[in-house]
Amino acid sequence: GAGVSQTPSNKVTEKGKYVELRCDPISGHTALYWYRQSLGQGPEFLIYFQGTGAADDSGLPNDRFFAVRPEGSVSTLKIQRTERGDSAVYLCASSSRTSGRDTQYFGPGTRLTVL
Amino acid sequence: QQQVKQSPQSLIVQKGGISIINCAYENTAFDYFPWYQQFPGKGPALLIAIRPDVSEKKEGRFTISFNKSAKQFSLHIMDSQPGDSATYFCAAISGGSNYKLTFGKGTLLTVNP
C-alpha cells in the first residue's frame, strides 16, 4: 500500500511569510508525528497526534509553529512569520498504535527554504 | 544537550568489509533503541531495534550490540555492500514518552566497490 506522503516536496519562501506543510499518513494509522531535520543533524521531535488531538507538542520551538489534524488523518504543520532559521526538512511519520515500539513510518519530507 | 551521541560522523568501508557505528546515551529512562537508515531524498526507515534486556540482536547482515552498564550500543554491518551507502541514525525511546524518538546526529556510510 501507499506510504506516508508529504506535500510539497520543496517549499521556498521569504522571511516573514506563512507556510503550510501537509502530511498524508498511512491509511488506518492513528498516531502521527512531525519531526524537523536540520542539515547534518538527526530528526528532532516536534509534535505527536493520537487521533485528532495533539498529545504532545513539547517539541514545537515557539508559538509561530502550529499543527492540526482535524479529522484524524491528514495533518498540516503551519509556520507563521517564517525565519531563516526555520529552513530544514520537515518529516512526518505515522504508526498504527501509540506504543513507541510500533514502527514509525516516515515520509520523504518537505524541504523548507526561507530566504 | 545531546541525549544520544553517535560516532563516527562519516565512515568509508570497502565492499565486503565490516561497518561499525557507535552510540552512547545518558538517560537511563531510555528502554528501546532502534536504528534507522536514510537514503538521500527519503525519510528514515527502521532497520533493526533492540531492548536493553538483550545484549545482541542480529537480522541478516545487521547486528546490534548493547552494553547496558556502559550505556552504549553499536550497529555492525557485515559484508558491507555499495547499496548500504546511506546515513544511519541511532535513536532511543523512553518508557515515559514511548512515542518520541530521540535521534543521534547520524553517520554517513560510504561503501566503495
If you ran DSSP here, which 8-state letter would residue A41 be given?
Answer: S
Q: What is the C-alpha separation between B5 and B20, in angstroms, rounded?
A: 14
Hey, are the CB atoms on A98 and B99 less than 8 Å from each other?
yes
Give the integer Cα–Cα distance in Å for B37 and A65.
28
| Phi, psi dihedral angles at A28 (to 5 degrees) | 90, -10
| Residue A110 touches chain B, beta carbons under 8 Å | no
The predicted model gives A41-69 an average pLDDT of 94
pLDDT at B102: 94
pLDDT confidence of residue A98 = 59
pLDDT > 90 fraction of chain B, expressed in percent and rounded? 84
* Among the ranges given (A2-6, A11-15, A28-32, B1-5), the one the predictor scored with the smallest mean pLDDT: B1-5
Residue B1 pLDDT > 70: no
Percentage of chain B lying above the pLDDT 70 cut: 96
Tell me whether A44 touches chain B (CB under 8 Å). yes
| Closest Cα in chain A, distance from residue B113 (Å) | 25
- Look-up of cell digits 522571511: A15
Which chain B residues are closer than 8 Å to A95 by Cβ? 99
- Chain centroid offset of residue B16 CA: 19
Q: Report pLDDT digits (tens) over B53-100.
A: 899 999 999 999 999 999 999 999 999 999 999 999 999 998 777 788
Average confidence score pLDDT of chain B: 94
A33 in B contact zone (CB under 8 Å):
yes
B108 touches chain A (CB under 8 A): no
Q: Do A108 and B93 touch (CB under 8 A)?
A: no
